[in-house]
Amino acid sequence: MIISDPAKDSKNVVILRFLSYQDYQEQTCIVESGDHPFVRHKTCVDYAAAMLVADSKLEELKLSGRLKLKANLSPRILASIREAVPRSRIPLECEKALEDQGLLE
């Protein structure tokens, strides 16, 4: 999922993934069934695996069929994910990109 704003910086797009809940995983932000159409059970946001990627690369992957888009995050879930960033294990370069875009408080 994209948690940054590609319109503000298309070369530094922060992407994350969801992981099925396990006790040993980072639990900084938990998403429940019904919070997003893709989420069917208790799910963790995997901040440690966050990456920076250029929007052009995402578009290239989408056009090649290697990236399939899902439903957008709701504003509430996106805000929850962003609010948890300072307490998470997100890579520093991803946190900095979010800060530079004015998306962290």
pLDDT at 71: 83
pLDDT class for 42, splitting at 50, 70, 90? confident
SS3 of residue 25 by DSSP:
coil
Secondary structure percentages of the chain, helix, strand, coil, to 5: 30, 15, 55
CA-CA distance, 100 to 56, in Å (whole number)? Answer: 19
- Which percentage of the chain shows pLDDT scores above 90? 73
pTM for the whole structure:
0.91
Structure confidence by residue, pLDDT tens digits, 67-100: 988 888 899 999 999 999 999 999 999 999 999 9
User: Is it the case that residue 41 has pLDDT exceeding 80?
Assistant: yes
User: Is it the case that residue 31 has pLDDT exceeding 80?
Assistant: yes
